[in-house]
Structure 1
């Protein structure tokens, strides 16, 4: 991740993979060397994860010292975290292809720092494991097997080590590009969700004219939304129930029991909505062929739930 951050901050037009394998393209501003040689380290403009020094003014970003650099909350930085702190905004300016002001970029940087970089810091320092199938796990799997030198020889093992790093860098770069773009879109989603909420007649039903992730905003802003209505295709509008806790199973208000697992004509007859299409057996999502039909299903679900509750 540290290498990928530097790539996007300084030379995004260069060959991320090629320079690791010694195939640097002409004009590439960045030369990447993996070494523990004191001489090479001394010569380098930027050194990270080795060298025993943290000094951004001198381009030194190690974290293995006794007095290692810490975040404000006391969490230790990894080298990737230190590079993100120093060069993350520069990387984002090259990663984001749409127009974002500095405030939005700072918000994006902060979100990525918390969700992507901090877990790397904690894992790399032995504070908390990222878990199975995490980014750390995927990067680790790119490296050669432990007995590569024994089976194929030292020369081949070195080649495979470099190839593994190049593959890992390509994987991490692709992940970072996708995460940045999704978070950029998330910033746009926030304003649209809040506008739709303000326009809603019943604040429990959020009607979106475009499909987008809404749960994050609903929970962060503590909105009393119970159902989100949004398009799911050219002729489909869905009603999705919001869970009681973000990311949890279950619903603040489940869809009616009588609709459970029905579809087509059977659901239309039971619900009274002519273009009703389906209702999931788990009662967390249903749909209709039109916006009006989906909104009607959401309203009916709330009415049915209220009628089933004891008075008082």
Structure 2
């Protein structure tokens, strides 16, 4: 059992704010290993000042935000979950009760579940739609959500616990020569996706006049009414239809081509496994579709604010006085100022303020900014000395995001990055 507690009562500590697949799955592994988990999610921690097990924060043994990341033999950097799996994976499997094929379980789970999380969290993998990692991403509370960050985190731990358990069941069958019929699984998927659209259209009180075609056709037919129902207005509904289609229906409606890079476990395969072993694959997919719709409706409800801030941007910086999902809106905006914005400044969920570079495309890790290499991966006093910005807290090793204690400090840091980017572009 996992209980969220205050830092002083914690036996385990990870970071607060937006959660990611690595510390979510790491929490699942630690629960198997230790049983009850009294966990604090904090903005900052000095690992030397606590006896708690600290992960994905603190620059200690089970963090990966140091400049000198620990890497696998294949060159992919570990994240917190990979480091824990490296040290405790076989022990965790024994705790589950596995004895035979222990090495096979260890390496297969690492290859299909753990290592892809490592790669994506370190910006080294291939980010695609509808994987277990993208589900965790959209499971963070929306800017206007009523759910708390801790509650959403625990829900995501439940999700990742399910991922691990069902994949172990699948591997057990594989090792015992009970292969799953994936063709039957994909036939089921096609049928159930269409059913889900029609069910949700009924819930949205759509007049269903056509049931010809598959899920994509049904979504094209009824999506705008569904988005309007959830959004309580038709404003920007057509954008929501397009985005949910691209986010959910397109990747699930066709068998995917092999990706060249490492990427996370696909949702459609997980759904097929859940249906095969637990008969709840349909419920699982409908829950994710609802989350996708909620996520898109939340983004739509913030679009006008982001567009207004784009028009108010100055010196290549857009300022958000409250955090609102901004990337999709900015990258699609037709404002004559949008291409001049290099980075966005917004309040951090961990306190203070952050900057984040505008990505070159929705799936890209590369951004429009260039940060001095000697700043990347640095924190606190070392970063203050290098940048000359009092209150500078951190810059990610990848340089795409950083933080400071207050608005004045983050703006000073952002302006220096803009100046460096401009100089870089002209030389």
| Bin for the TM-score computed over the shorter chain | 0.5 to 0.7
Aligned residue number for residue 282 of structure 2: 169
8 Å CA contact 2:275, 2:282 repeated in 1: no
State the Cα distance separating 1:85 from its structure 2 match.
Answer: 3.6
Deviations 1:171-194 (A, max 9, x none): 111111110011111112322222
C-alpha distance 92-195 of structure 1, shift in aligned 2 (>3 A): closer
Query: For structure 1, which runs of at least 5 residues remain unmatched after alignment?
Result: 14-55, 64-77, 146-162
Deviations 1:50-96 (A, max 9, x none): xxxxxx85x553x5xxxxxxxxxxxxxx2x233324444454455x1
Deviations 1:186-209 (A, max 9, x none): 11232222211211222x111111
Aligned residue number for residue 84 of structure 1: 219
8 Å CA contact 1:229, 1:239 repeated in 2: yes
1:107 aligns with 2:239: yes
TM-score under structure 1 normalisation? Answer: 0.62
8 Å CA contact 2:211, 2:218 repeated in 1: no
8 Å CA contact 1:264, 1:278 repeated in 2: yes
* Greater C-alpha Rg: 1
C-alpha distance 295-257 of structure 1, shift in aligned 2 (>3 A): same
State the Cα distance separating 1:309 from its structure 2 match.
Answer: 6.2
8 Å CA contact 1:108, 1:183 repeated in 2: yes
Aligned residue number for residue 135 of structure 1: 267
Deviations 1:214-259 (A, max 9, x none): 2223322352221111111363211112233442223322222342
C-alpha distance 109-309 of structure 1, shift in aligned 2 (>3 A): closer
Deviations 1:262-288 (A, max 9, x none): 222222232222111112232222211
C-alpha distance 85-228 of structure 1, shift in aligned 2 (>3 A): closer
C-alpha distance 216-310 of structure 1, shift in aligned 2 (>3 A): closer
Aligned residue number for residue 33 of structure 1: none
What aligned pairs does 1:88-237 form with structure 2 within 5 A after superposition?
Answer: 88-92=223-227, 96=230, 98-100=231-233, 102-123=234-255, 129=257, 133-144=265-276, 164=279, 167-202=280-315, 204-221=316-333, 223-233=339-349, 235-237=351-353
In structure 2, the residue corresponding to 1:287 is in which secondary structure?
Answer: strand
Inter-partner Cα distance in structure 2 for 1:4 and 1:308: 50
Inter-partner Cα distance in structure 1 for 2:249 and 2:417: 42
Inter-partner Cα distance in structure 1 for 2:378 and 2:270: 41
C-alpha distance 110-296 of structure 1, shift in aligned 2 (>3 A): same
Q: Match for 2:364 among 207, 232, 248?
A: 248
TM-score under structure 2 normalisation? Answer: 0.47
C-alpha distance 279-90 of structure 1, shift in aligned 2 (>3 A): closer
Query: For structure 2, which runs of at least 5 residues remain unmatched after alignment?
Result: 1-192
Aligned residue number for residue 261 of structure 1: 377
C-alpha distance 248-118 of structure 1, shift in aligned 2 (>3 A): closer
Aligned residue number for residue 5 of structure 1: 197
8 Å CA contact 1:263, 1:277 repeated in 2: yes
Aligned residue number for residue 35 of structure 1: none
In structure 1, the residue corresponding to 2:346 is in which secondary structure?
Answer: strand
Inter-partner Cα distance in structure 2 for 1:88 and 1:241: 32
Aligned residue number for residue 158 of structure 1: none
Inter-partner Cα distance in structure 1 for 2:258 and 2:288: 16
